[in-house]
Amino acid sequence: MAAAANDIAGVPTTEEEQQQVVNPWEVSAKDGGKIDYDKLIDKFGCQRLDQQLIDRVHRITSRPPHVFLRRGVFFAHRDFNEILDAFEKGQKFYLYTGRGPSSEALHLGHLIPFMFTKYLQDAFKVPLVIQLTDDEKCMWKNLSVEECKRLARENAKDIIACGFDISKTFIFQDFNYVGGAFYENMVRINKCVTYNKVVGIFGFSGEDHIGKISFPSVQAAPSFTSSFPHLFHGNNNIRCLIPCAIDQDPYFRMTRDVAPRLGYHKPALIESSFFPALQGENGKMSASDPNSAIYVTDSEKEIKNKVNRYAFSGGQDSIENHRKYGANLEVDISVKYLSFFLEDDVELEHIKQEYGAGRMLTGEVKKRLTEVLTTLVERHRRARELVTEEMVDAFMAVRPLPNMFN
């Protein structure tokens, strides 16, 4: 990789860099401020996803760009242009994303990568592997092996409810699948990564158990087709595209550093910003604070209560001042959430103009947000109710997918 050693490591070393921490286990900005995504791009060494690439996706797929592309939710990438180059030449690629199952239900922030991955699967007509890292959560959380395996299946139901095509999708739990060719790749990766490098990338200390130090190879292995012989039958020339939040970037910086030494393509990434907590845009939603998040199990009443009580407002302290000065759209969480989930660009722009000018009040914006979120959650709940244990088994069955590129 053409980056300085510290860029590869991704470990903050100066006082300025310490102002924000972004890694797979912690996302925070100094003094509760906003995450500076431009600094993250510079620090991690990825690229800004520009309008030219978005227009190219539109042209290649003949589909309107997803709302997450249009509005910059997915804002950074690594070699996404190379994926598009290969695709235009008739070469195939596959998608890989995942979920660490640590809670019974998902919140909206958890859904974002799966909603976007569904769009990519449909637009490019490509296969998808979804890794459920139940082993990771057993090592990082105070959870038993049995509980992590159970949560993985529960989370799989929410993932399936996003509408993935079973003829193109393989979902696996690490505890059940890791072995054989997958484990062989883990060993190959482990031999390429020194202890000092893994400590540098992930910040492990002498107090961390050895399971944490060895885990990154488990998340790296799905980037290579040889980890799935039942799908790719020894074809190691198929590229991998990983949609994920940018806090997962350290895993794949490591993977991309290793890949050429193993004779594999570097995985490409397309990376999203964080879905902010209701209380403000200082990181991402926390599963440990139920009032910071909207869950897919929340009722209409719960959604309304959370939005009205906890969604940070950019409105003024009185109606008189609000009419005079308007809302601060940069800090208003209701506007942020509508930017994620209100698909109508014209309506969103109208709300921003009216609210920013003080002609629309905070209560009106929160009412519209409640309607949008309630519709989204209800639609997801109905889809999840149709997901049976047999369907989970079918998605997780180790099987060929003969029509996965059709």
263 in the same domain as 177: yes
Enclosing domain of residue 149: 24-279
Distance (Å, whole) CA 8 – CA 1: 8
Whole-number pLDDT of residue 1:
35
In three state form, how does the secondary structure of 206-217 look?
Answer: CCCCHHHHHCHH
313 in the same domain as 271: no
395 part of a folded domain: no
Q: Identify the residue whose tokens are 């008189």.
A: 320
Q: What is the CATH number of the domain that holds 127?
A: 3.40.50.620
- What is the pTM (predicted TM-score) of this model? 0.93
406 part of a folded domain: no
Domain count along the chain: 2
**Predicted confidence (pLDDT) per residue in 248-282, tens digit:** 999 999 999 999 999 999 999 999 999 999 998 76
CB 342 within 8 A of CB 350: no
**Predicted confidence (pLDDT) per residue in 58-98, tens digit:** 999 999 999 999 999 999 999 999 999 999 999 999 999 99
206 in the same domain as 132: yes
Distance (Å, whole) CA 111 – CA 90: 31
- Give the pairing of strands 128-132 and 169-173: parallel
CB 166 within 8 A of CB 116: no
309 in the same domain as 253: no
Whole-number pLDDT of residue 12:
46
18 part of a folded domain: no
Low pLDDT (below 70) residues in the chain: 1-18, 31-32, 282-288
Distance (Å, whole) CA 186 – CA 175: 14
249 in the same domain as 163: yes
273 in the same domain as 227: yes
129 in the same domain as 44: yes
Distance (Å, whole) CA 209 – CA 189: 19
Angle ∠(272,275,280) on CA atoms, nearest 5? 135
Task: Give the residue from 279, 305, 337 where a domain finishes.
Answer: 279
284 part of a folded domain: no
Task: Give the residue from 257, 279, 301 where a domain finishes.
Answer: 279
Q: What is the CATH number of the domain that holds 359?
A: 1.10.240.10
331 in the same domain as 263: no
186 in the same domain as 80: yes
403 part of a folded domain: no
209 part of a folded domain: yes
231 in the same domain as 106: yes
Distance (Å, whole) CA 109 – CA 277: 9
56 part of a folded domain: yes
Task: Give the residue from 212, 245, 279 where a domain finishes.
Answer: 279
134 part of a folded domain: yes
271 in the same domain as 362: no
Whole-number pLDDT of residue 3:
38
CA 88 to chain CA mean position, Å: 26
- Residue 236: closest CA among 269, 260, 257, 254: 260
CA 156, 157, 163, 168: dihedral to nearest 10 degrees? Answer: 40
321 in the same domain as 259: no
